[in-house]
Amino acid sequence: MHAALENLSTLVNFSIIQSGNGQVNVYLNGETPLVVGSNEYALSADFSSPQTAILDSQGNNVASEITGGKLGGLLSEKNTTLPGYMETLNTLAKTFADQVNNQLAQGLDESGNPPSINLFTYNQASDAAATIAVTGIAP
């Protein structure tokens, strides 16, 4: 039992409550039962949305209870840190494309006409980094 709890402690934060009759109960973050007496309650992961959910045995999302251990670190990276980086990268790509296009729009081509197309395009601000492209220019 001690080796199993030692391994569990590297993955998540948990608490142990021992009853008077020697029964050991293990709870995720002191709230969600993992082991109560001889009953085990499994956790599962749901990757069907952009935010990874950790589900208890009844299907409730308990990801907010996982704040420590390897699983807590991975959840924080996947659900908070990486989306923040993507938002910043999309803002950078959109701003770059818009500023270059706006600057070029103030000039003239070799025929003395303002440009008729933008140099850079992207689908939407929310995915600008993934879709930024140089506009195809025919010779």
Q: Which range has highest mean pLDDT (6-10, 59-63, 107-111)?
A: 59-63
What is residue 99's predicted lDDT score, i.e. its pLDDT? 97
Q: What is d(CA 138, CA 103) in angstroms, rounded to the nearest whole number?
A: 21
| Arithmetic mean of pLDDT over the chain | 91
Q: What is the pLDDT of residues 82-93, one digit of tens each?
A: 999 999 999 999
What is residue 22's predicted lDDT score, i.e. its pLDDT? 84
Q: What is the pLDDT of residues 13-68, one digit of tens each?
A: 999 998 888 888 999 988 999 999 889 999 999 999 999 999 999 999 999 999 89
Residue 109 vs residues 99, 115, 134: alpha-carbon distances, Å = 18, 6, 17
Q: Which band of pLDDT confidence, cut at 50, 70 and 90, is reported for residue 126?
A: confident
Q: φ, ψ for residue 119 (rounded to 5)? A: -75, -40
- 10 Å CB burial of residue 76 (0-12, 13-18, 19+) is middle
Is residue 81 within 8 Å of residue 48, measured between CB atoms?
no
Residue 10 has pLDDT above 70, yes or no: yes
- Give mean pLDDT, residues 96-114: 92
Q: What is d(CA 81, CA 69) in angstroms, rounded to the nearest whole number?
A: 16
Q: What is d(CA 129, CA 134) in angstroms, rounded to the nearest whole number?
A: 12
For the chain, percent of residues with pLDDT exceeding 70: 98
* Amino acid (1-letter code) at residue 62: V
What is residue 42's predicted lDDT score, i.e. its pLDDT? 94
Q: Give the tokens for residue 34.
A: 């993992």
Residue 137 has pLDDT above 80, yes or no: no
Is residue 41 within 8 Å of residue 75, measured between CB atoms?
no
